Amino acid sequence: MNTMAFDRLELISEHACFGGVQRFYKHASREIGLPMRFGLFLPPQALAGAQVPLLTFLAGLTCTEETFAIKGGAQRVAAELGLALLMPDTSPRGAGVDSEDHHWDFGVGAGFYLDATHAPWAGHWRMESYLLQELLPQAAEVFGLDGESQGLFGHSMGGHGALTLALRHPGRFRSVSAFAPICAPTHCPWGRKAFMGYLGQDESSWAAHDASALMAQLASAPYPAGILVDQGLADKFLEEQLHPEDFEAACTQAGQPLILRRHAGYDHGYYFIATFMEDHLRHHAAALA
């Protein structure tokens, strides 16, 4: 393994899992300016030397790099399909910024998978650059993964991140999906509060980080094989915060095939995510093959 790409890469722990290995790492991030952690599942095919596709999961608020690995139930099917799973932490930590420890209300502090432009957050809150310019390319290089065959998915705030990053960086990802994503953050309290803190009061800059607004601007489908979104109808955040109907309308306008599945009885948590995880992994595997 070539560790030159990461600055001070440290293996925290590793666990045998379905013939592969689940690992957790820490490294010094140049983009964030702080130590960052991530999880990585390498399937047995990768351990045997194969260059496998890389699928990155962006987690939601209150989560860390461990949450998806422990609760998502993804490793068994990922091992079968030969997919490496990358699990970044959601946010910079330890910056000492006022109110950082009080960000679990979807206020500023949560990463939101963008680069902040306003103080005091602009110094370290650079999650978009961290992911696209640092973590993903370095993980592919260091661990011998297929950097040309990458997919992106996520949950809630991470679903917002998956959709927006996939749309903001055309050609970078070959597949995208989401669980209960924040589809129109410019029109919901969570998104407006975060954007006000990170991007400032000029709302004209906010649409560049809104999946529905980004999709509505397109004249053709960026993902002709389809985008998969699952949403629970017992999700207490659905009506006020998530607005999947806005993304559905934007996809229709752009001619983007969208599989939006609404599930009676399912809430916002990881029981919902684990239930439909296999469908998402197979969706990505088909596009990344």
User: Which among 15, 11, 35 has a CA at the least distance from the CA of 25?
Assistant: 11
Distances (CA, A) of 41 to 25, 132, 259, 269: 11, 19, 27, 22
Tell me which of 103, 160, 209, 268 is the catalytic residue. 268
Distance in angstroms (rounded) separating the CA atoms of residues 130 and 136: 8
The catalytic position among 29, 91, 149, 156 is: 156
**Dist. CA 75–CA 82, nearest whole Å:** 10
Taking the CA atoms of 243, 261, 224 and 90 in sequence, report the sign of the dihedral they define.
Answer: positive
- Using an 8 Å Cβ cutoff, are 276 and 241 in contact? no
Q: 20-29 long-range CB contacts below 8 Å, 24 or more apart?
A: 20/44, 20/46, 20/47, 20/75, 20/78, 20/79, 21/47, 22/69, 22/75, 24/65, 24/66, 24/69, 29/130, 29/134, 29/135
Burial tier of 41 (Cβ tally within 10 Å: 0-12, 13-18, 19+): buried
156 is catalytic: yes
Q: How far apart, in Å, are the Cα atoms of 251 and each of 82, 257, 279?
A: 30, 7, 21
Please identify which of the residues 89, 230, 235, 246 carries the catalytic annotation. 235
Give the Cα separation of 227 and 83 in Å (integer). Answer: 18
Q: Annotated catalytic sites, by residue?
A: 156, 235, 268
